[in-house]
Structure 1
């Protein structure tokens, strides 16, 4: 009998859904829902069914601070519908102690221009705001560090919202990565006077660059140097790739470069020029490149044309085919003309499309119109 009871308890334990350890309160997990939490969420027009389906474990927690969280959001200027949306998407917020959320408010307001903007951030990134109290010291230290780099408050706020992990960890880790970025910039011939702007753009393009090990950047730069890229080209790639060069590794780049060179039928030197013209070729996986090459070839475009305008590889096959058909309907043949018109965003394409001088169709013969005769 004892064995049966033990087995039953173990099965019940396995059925309990796991939840983030950083949000586990100093309370209890009940087998039944916390009715006070459920009623408070109902009163705020929160979609309880959605919460039960996706994050039902929250409703079993005690204590919860639904009213306190809602009041704080109201004080910041959040409307009822916004509060409802935040708590539907991120119900874990109600598990944050009121003192913790108040400390977060003060912390964020030290870099956020106004309360209205902070509400917008919480609406988009609730997990970044409602974080563990154990991270507050790291957050303060990281804010102070990025302010010492003369990054503006809006930039720091964006980093905190989109890459909160970089602010929750010890400041020394961010310092190490930033120093590596700065040294790489200088070693590649970057202008000291422009380094602050360069760093700010880099972090703006890819905030998650801070979370990468510094040695990854060093390895990738060394690999590209071994492939013959000059220092000026490497600096350009590091900036143009939106820091994606840090997301890569030598093996993936080696495969991509080899496949692109063999497919285009070009030399290593020619390939380097193509990569500088279209840095995206460095990080597209082989299967995506194969699909896009095939899509262009199927449309009658030659490898020579692709090599001349490699940025066309940044577009999906679906977008390329759509643009080719639009141009074809107006008499523009991409097989014999420039591919430049295909490039760019939708807006860029529409502008280029509107500037083209298309072939005029011959007017139909009108038997009623008078014939032009000799005077």
Structure 2
């Protein structure tokens, strides 16, 4: 059996579970399960069968720090159920040396307001916290850089949790992308006083924008400019698309715009208005748009209604069908009424539906009708 030295905090290989035992890097392998690890996990009420099924290789490591890791988490304020949940979802944590884990704790606490919030982050993003110790210098440098931009600490924490790759890489790479975003913002007429707020919002809504190539942003903005969008409209799209503009490319946008214009039978100017009212249309592939338009039309909704309220295209076909059925049950005819009632989150829709129900159940008061007296 091949034996490799464990040099990472927790397994740098993200695909280790899918590899044969003799090919997994950065681990010390054993032919049998480490019974001490199994017993320690049992004592912590961790679902061993789940661990065996999803990441059984962890149980074969000759060195583990299960009790010590659990103790550090407990010291941070984690409950017993939280610890068992964390270790069931991310059992690699037991391979983390306690000293390395303490170093991570100190690093995260430099931007996290308190340990309670940090435990909440670890519960949701354990892989982000139990990352390789070889990335600590990059993490520190990136934290210092984003703090120098005067970004809110909560934004920095969210970036570290949801897009840990951006903090594990060299700070120079993030600097290039941030400078590209700032330059685009200025060139599109963004006000310098609002720069920080704009950047915080964009990074918060789409942390992975940092991992995109800067050239993609420039190419997409040039493409949209050629399609007739003004400078102010481009700034609107860059903000509303939450950074998705960096995930698009001219070819995909060209196909989507061509399909949308043909399906809706509108002019280029009208299509730009539709995109500005619902930037997500620019993001969806034509196959998804085709399915949603077909679903709406089959319910008796006209294309003119869709053009008037294009945000309905953000809804999946399942949601469209469900909401239309609910509205019909309440007596609302989507074929003649506004489609705005279809829009929004589940909470928004339930609020609109509740108002319709009240209107349906409330008796209509006629101020000139004679009052009924006793016979």
User: Taking structure 1 as the reference length, what is the TM-score of the superposition?
Assistant: 0.88
Distance 1:304 1:57, change over 3 A: same
Q: How does 1:176-325 map to 2 (within 5 A)?
A: 176-325=176-325
**3-state SS in 2 of match to 1:29:** coil
What do residues 35-74 of structure 1 show as CA deviations (whole Å, max 9, x unaligned)? 2211211211111111111111111112211121111111
Is the CA contact (8 Å cut-off) linking 1:330 and 1:358 kept in structure 2?
no
- The ranges of structure 1 where at least 4 consecutive aligned residues each deviate by more than 4 angstroms after the TM superposition are 354-363
Tell me the CA shift for residue 361 of structure 1: 12
Q: How does 1:12-31 map to 2 (within 5 A)?
A: 15-16=20-21, 19=24, 21=25, 24-25=26-27, 28-31=28-31
Aligned to 1:48: 48
Aligned to 2:10: none
Alpha-carbon RMSD: 2.2
- The 1-side partners of 2:111 and 2:88 are apart by 27
How many residue pairs match? The answer is 348
Larger Rg: 1
Is the CA contact (8 Å cut-off) linking 1:331 and 1:358 kept in structure 2?
no
**3-state SS in 2 of match to 1:242:** coil
Structure 2 unmatched runs, 5+: 1-18, 365-371
Is the CA contact (8 Å cut-off) linking 1:37 and 1:64 kept in structure 2?
yes
**3-state SS in 2 of match to 1:62:** coil
What do residues 204-261 of structure 1 show as CA deviations (whole Å, max 9, x unaligned)? 1001111111111111111111111111111111111111111111111111100000
- The 2-side partners of 1:341 and 1:179 are apart by 41
Which segment is superposed worse, 269-278 or 315-324? 315-324
Q: How does 1:147-158 map to 2 (within 5 A)?
A: 147-158=147-158
Is the CA contact (8 Å cut-off) linking 2:21 and 2:29 kept in structure 1?
no
- The 2-side partners of 1:80 and 1:358 are apart by 49
Which segment is superposed worse, 41-50 or 277-286? 41-50
What do residues 289-321 of structure 1 show as CA deviations (whole Å, max 9, x unaligned)? 111110111111111111111111111222222
Structure 1 unmatched runs, 5+: 1-13, 364-371
Distance 1:81 1:358, change over 3 A: closer
- The 2-side partners of 1:88 and 1:331 are apart by 48
Distance 1:39 1:267, change over 3 A: same
Is the CA contact (8 Å cut-off) linking 1:96 and 1:130 kept in structure 2?
yes
Tell me the CA shift for residue 279 of structure 1: 0.6
Tell me the CA shift for residue 359 of structure 1: 7.3
Tell me the CA shift for residue 338 of structure 1: 2.1
Is the CA contact (8 Å cut-off) linking 2:138 and 2:169 kept in structure 1?
yes
- The 1-side partners of 2:168 and 2:224 are apart by 33
Aligned to 2:88: 88
Tell me the CA shift for residue 15 of structure 1: 4.7
- The 2-side partners of 1:362 and 1:96 are apart by 66
- The 2-side partners of 1:354 and 1:53 are apart by 45
Distance 1:362 1:186, change over 3 A: closer
**3-state SS in 1 of match to 2:289:** helix
User: Taking structure 2 as the reference length, what is the TM-score of the superposition?
Assistant: 0.88
Q: How does 1:33-182 map to 2 (within 5 A)?
A: 33-182=33-182
Distance 1:74 1:350, change over 3 A: closer
- The 2-side partners of 1:29 and 1:16 are apart by 7
Aligned to 1:4: none
Is the CA contact (8 Å cut-off) linking 1:332 and 1:358 kept in structure 2?
no
Aligned to 1:342: 342
